[in-house]
């Protein structure tokens, strides 16, 4: 079972979702850390910090997702591949910024709590969009 979850190549949506949550969790920790660092340590407005932390975390997510979650080792056009990945991620970033603003400025939550809520919502958008639009897999 460990090999299926962590080592073997797979097109199984449930194993890919498990791996994606693991990768997303890693990218989220990177994103969350840099959001805090840029906002609280550097004093940058939280919505700008969210964009900066996004840029760092999307690189981590791209490398791990491409090689491990969706088993895409031999894609011929790496520039096109990365640009499509960034496009899908950017839509997720727009949703994240809207949700951060809504939960922080409208609902009054602390911006890091808002980030956790937004990340949970956006996780499903990113997974399904990448699986279907980017890697050409079926929805289910």
Q: What is the pLDDT of residue 140?
A: 54
- Would you say residue 139 has pLDDT above 60? no
Q: pTM, whole model, 2 decimals?
A: 0.76
Stronger pLDDT, 133 or 46, i.e. the higher one: 46
Closest CA to 66 of 53, 80, 52: 80
Distance CA 129, CA 133 (A): 5
Angle among Cα 20, 23, 24 to the nearest 5 degrees reads 80
Residues 27-56: tens digit of each pLDDT:
999 999 999 999 999 999 999 999 999 999
Stronger pLDDT, 67 or 87, i.e. the higher one: 87
- Quickly tell me which residue has 């073997």 as its tokens: 8
- Would you say residue 72 has pLDDT above 60? no
Q: What is the pLDDT of residue 136?
A: 61
**What's the first-to-final CA gap in the chain, in angstroms?**
21
Distance CA 55, CA 52 (A): 5
Rg over alpha carbons for the chain, rounded to the nearest Å, is 16
Distance CA 20, CA 129 (A): 12
Distance CA 93, CA 89 (A): 6
The DSSP H or E segment spanning 124 is helix 111-129
Q: How far is CA 15 from the centre of its chain?
A: 17
Residues 80-126: tens digit of each pLDDT:
777 887 888 888 899 999 999 999 999 999 999 999 999 988 878 87
């Amino acid at each position: 079972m460990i090999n299926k979850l962590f080592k073997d190549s797979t097109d199984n949506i449930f194993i890919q979702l498990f791996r994606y949550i693991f990768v997303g969790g890693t990218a989220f920790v990177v994103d969350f850390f840099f959001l805090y660092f840029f906002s609280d340590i550097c004093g940058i407005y939280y919505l700008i910090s969210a964009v900066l932390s996004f840029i760092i975390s999307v690189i981590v997510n791209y490398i791990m997702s491409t090689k491990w979650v969706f088993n895409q080792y031999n894609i011929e056009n790496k520039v096109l591949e990365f640009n499509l990945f960034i496009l899908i991620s950017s839509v997720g970033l727009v949703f994240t910024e809207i949700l951060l603003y809504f939960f922080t400025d409208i609902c009054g939550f602390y911006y890091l709590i808002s980030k956790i809520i937004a990340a949970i919502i956006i996780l499903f958008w990113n997974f399904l969009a990448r699986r279907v639009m980017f890697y050409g897999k079926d929805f289910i």
